[in-house]
Each structure stands twice: as C-alpha cells, then as structure tokens.
Structure 1
C-alpha cells in the first residue's frame, strides 16, 4: 500500500496507523485516510465527492478532500479492491460547541446542497426499505422455523421475531400516519446525514467527518440514531433531552420531524442488524452477535419504557404545540 500510494499520488509514507476502521498516515500538514470503496458504484462515489466539495466550500473544517491520482482517477486498486484517498487537516483541538448544536449546524449547511442526489438519497424511502427488510427476515424466519436442528442463537431468533415484527409494523404505520396527517416544513428538506450516527461518531480526535459514511436524508435519521445509541449505552432519556435541546437552540424541529424521529425509533434497527450480522459473519465472529442478541432481548422492556418516555418528553418539550400520537400499548409497560 505504501509503494502504491507513492506511485499513484507521489506521497512518501513512513508508517500506517489506524483511525476508526481505516488505515491512515500523516505528513507535517495533513492526515490521510485510505478508504475501501469496492461496495460503492462510480456514481455513488461521485455524489459523495461533490457533497464533500460543497461542505468544504461551506467552511466545515472537519470535512476531508478526495485526492485524485496522478492519472486523474478518483479511485485506485490494490489486489482487486478499490480505494480512495482522503486528505484532512490534523486538528487536535477540543471542540467547544455542544454536540447537538454542532449537528444542527452541519444539517443546516447540508440543506443548502444544490445538486440532485439519486444514488445516495434515502429521502421518503424508509417505509419501502423497512418493509423490504421485514419481508426478507420474515421469509428467513419461516424457513428457520421449519428446520429440525437449530443453534441457540437461532432458537432465540425464532422466539423473538414475532415481537419485533409487530414493532416494525407499528413503526411503518406511525410513519404512514405522519406523512398523511402532518405537513413537512422547510426544515424537513433533505440534508447530509450519517449512514449511522452514534454517541461516539464525532467524539474521535482529530474529528474527521468521513464522506463515505454519508447519505442524503431527513435530519430525523441522525437524531433518532443518536437517541437509539444513547439508550443502548446508558438508557438515559435525560441525555437525549439535553441533546435535542442543544440541537433546537440552533435549528428548531417541526412536528413532522419529531414524529419521523419517533417512527424511526420504533423501527428495531438494532435487532435487524444483529440477526443479519450473525448470518453474514464468519463463524469465528458469530459469538459477538449472540451476545448482542442476548443483550437486546434482555433490554426489550427497558426499550419500551424508553420509547414511552421519549414520546412524553418530545410532546412536553414542544409545549403542547406538537401532536405526538402515543403508541398505546407502550403505556402498559411497568
């Protein structure tokens, strides 16, 4: 890889080191990330390149630049795998802006993105994507239910799936009702979001907002995934309330945004990712997903309480101005 980068970019590398899941190296003035991109199409990469260009023009100091090879190519190959090289400024300073406010400012810049996005957009697609994912897992569940020999993980999957099927149907219905009953405002237009925002996503120093982790979507995507992550780490509605307060001081949320966020929290993405992850992982890594599933199932009642508490908190924070229809069966959770 060192020789290849010297050949393709004319940059001499002393040593490679890890940053998140990527390989990196540094020069006196820059930090470089070597990003695998074989799973992206050329048009997806082009869209992400233009998004990063736009955010650099908006003076976001944490967005890196895509570097082109000496031959003018966006990607380069090693052993049949495609990569891009990103160049970031090595900023090690602590950030003074609260995370919620920082995310709101990022979303505000992203809403001004002027170009059409086709490949990396998820706007208006949640219902279809969730329904497709549910159908696939349900077919798999039916098939596994008829299997005479099952691993312990598979038994727990078979027992738990009907509950999460019901939760997913609730999420899809809540989203459908939101789109029927509520009107999107200007703040509800598409923006640049993380594929999966967690409590840890922007805590790394130096902070680098990696473009290959982006999609164009509603801001509620990031808000809901942050809240889900906060539950998984601390089960703390108060931390989520503080985060939303910081966010709304910069960019107030519409009732459509809040209902969209709640529908996404109802969708049990953490369950789907765990079951899917188990079956696509090598056997040596499956124990990670076994532990994850055990944890999710043991926290099911706590997640119901979190959903109920989140709905009440979001309704209270709006001072009665936002209609957040409750999911009545969640109220029965002690």
Structure 2
C-alpha cells in the first residue's frame, strides 16, 4: 500500500496507522484515509465527491476531500479492491459547540446543495426500503422455521421475529399516515446525512467527516438514529430531550419532521442489523451477534417504554398546537 500511494499520488509514507476502521497516515499538514469503495458505483462516488466539494465551499472544517491520482483518477486498486484517498486537516481541538446545534448547522448547509442526487438519495424511500427488508427477513424466517436443527441464535430469531414484524408494520403505517396527513415545510427538504449517525460517529478527535458514509435524506434520519443510539448507550431521556432542544434552537422541527423521526424510531433497525449481521458474518463473529441479540431482546420492554415516553417528551407537541398521533398498543405499555 505504501508503494502504491507513492506511485499513484507521489506521497511518501513512513507509517500506516488506523483511524476508525480505515488505514491512515499523516503529513505535517494533513491526515489521509485509505477508504475501500468497491461496493459503490461510479455515480455514487461522483455524488459523494460533489457533496464533499460543496461542504468545503461552505467552510465545514471537518469534511475530508477526495485526492485524485497523478493520472486524474478518483480510485486506485490493490488486490482487486478499489480505494479512494481522502484528505483532511488535523484539527485536534475539542469542540465546545453543543452536538444538537452542530448537527443542525450541518443540515442547514446540506439543504443548500444545488445539484441533483440520484444514487445516494433516500428521500421518500423509507417505506419501500423497510418493506423490502421485512419481506426478505420474513421469507428467511419461514425457511428457518421449517429447519429441524437450529443454533441457539436461530431459535431466538424464530421466537422473536413475529414481535418485530408487528413493530415494523407499525412503523410503515405511521410513516404512510404522516405522508398522507401532514405537509412538509421548507426545512423538510433533503440534506446531507450520515448513513448511520451514532454517539460515536462525530465523537473522535480529530473529527473527520467521511463523504462515503453519507446519504442524501431527510434530517429526521440523523435525529432518529442519534436518538436511538443515545437510548442504547445510557437510556437517559434528559440527554435525548437536551439533544433535540439544542437542534431546535438552530432549526425548529415541523410536525412532519417529528412524525418522520418517530416513525423511524418505531422501525426496529437494531433488530434487523443484528439478525442480518449474524447471517453474513463469519463463524468467529457469531458470538458478537449472539450477545447483541440477547441484550436487545432483554431490552425490548425498556424500548417500548422509551417509545411511549418519547411521544410525551417536552417539545414533541408538533408546531406547538398539533399533538403527535399516538400508537394505540403502546398506551398499554406499563
């Protein structure tokens, strides 16, 4: 890899290290990430490049930019795998800005993105994507139900799936009702979001925002996934309320935004990730997913209480005068 970087970019590397899940190296003025991109097509990479250039122009200090090879190529190959080289400034300063406000500012910049986004856009696609994922897992569940020999993980999957199927159908219906009953406002237009924003995503110093981890979507995607992550990390409703309050001080949320956010919290993404992850992982990684499913199932009642409480959270009165529609069966949650 060192020789390849020297050949393609003319950069001499002393040592390779690790930043997050990527190989990296430093020069006095920059940090570079070597990012595998074989799973993206050329259009997706071009869209990531456009978004990163735009945010650079908007003076986001943490966005990394694509470095092209001496031949003018965006990607290079090693052992049949395509990579890009990303460059970022080494800002080691601790950020004092509240995270909710920082995210709102990022979304505000992203809403101004002037070019069409096709391949990396998820705007208006949640229902279809969730339904597709549910159908695939249901078919798999039916196959496994007929299987005479099952691993402990598979037994738990077979027993738990009907519950999560119901929760997913609730999420899809809540989203469908939102799109029928409510009107998007100006702040509901698409923006640049993380594929999956968690408590860890922007926590690391130096902070580097990585374009290939983005999608173009409604801001509720980031709000919901960060809220889900906060719940899983510490279950402190005050932290969640504080995060949303910080965000709304910069960008007030419409009733459409809040209902979209809630529909995404209803969708049990953590369950799908765990089951799908188990079946595509190697045997050595199975223990991780087994522990994760055990924990997730043990927390199902707590998550129900969280979903119920989230509706009652301060500030969840959409627009100050329209209450969030409730989910009837959650009312019965003790």
Matches within 5 A, 1:279-318: 279-313=279-313, 316=316, 318=318
Question: Secondary structure of 1:192's partner?
Answer: strand
User: In the alignment, which residue of structure 2 is the partner of 1:218?
Assistant: 218
CA contact (8 A) 1:230 1:240 kept: yes
User: In the alignment, which residue of structure 1 is the partner of 2:128?
Assistant: 128
CA distance in 2, matches of 1:245, 1:147: 49
CA distance in 1, matches of 2:270, 2:168: 12
User: In the alignment, which residue of structure 1 is the partner of 2:256?
Assistant: 256
User: In the alignment, which residue of structure 2 is the partner of 1:109?
Assistant: 109
User: In the alignment, which residue of structure 1 is the partner of 2:193?
Assistant: 193
CA distance in 2, matches of 1:96, 1:322: 34
User: In the alignment, which residue of structure 2 is the partner of 1:23?
Assistant: 23
User: Any stretches of 5+ residues in structure 1 without a counterpart?
Assistant: none
Q: How far 1:321 moved relative to its partner?
A: 2.0
CA distance in 2, matches of 1:169, 1:195: 22
Matches within 5 A, 1:228-239: 228-239=228-239
CA contact (8 A) 1:107 1:219 kept: yes
Q: How far 1:314 moved relative to its partner?
A: 5.3
CA distance in 2, matches of 1:96, 1:287: 38
CA contact (8 A) 2:255 2:319 kept: no
Query: Considering only aligned residues, what root-mean-square deviation do their CA atoms show, in Å?
Result: 0.9
CA distance in 2, matches of 1:135, 1:198: 26
CA contact (8 A) 1:67 1:86 kept: yes
User: Any stretches of 5+ residues in structure 2 without a counterpart?
Assistant: none
CA distance in 1, matches of 2:240, 2:292: 22
CA contact (8 A) 1:265 1:307 kept: yes
Matches within 5 A, 1:1-334: 1-313=1-313, 316=316, 318=318, 320-334=320-334
CA distance in 2, matches of 1:274, 1:29: 40
TM-score (norm 2): 0.99
Q: How far 1:315 moved relative to its partner?
A: 5.4
CA distance in 2, matches of 1:255, 1:307: 17
CA contact (8 A) 2:35 2:85 kept: yes
CA distance in 1, matches of 2:103, 2:323: 25
Deviations 1:294-328 (A, max 9, x none): 00100000000000111111555557423310112
Equivalent pairs, count: 334
CA distance in 2, matches of 1:206, 1:318: 36
Question: Secondary structure of 2:86's partner?
Answer: strand
CA distance in 2, matches of 1:165, 1:287: 24
CA contact (8 A) 1:258 1:314 kept: no
TM-score (norm 1): 0.99
Summarize the Cα distance change of 1:315–1:212 in structure 2 as closer, same or farther, 3 Å threshold. Answer: same
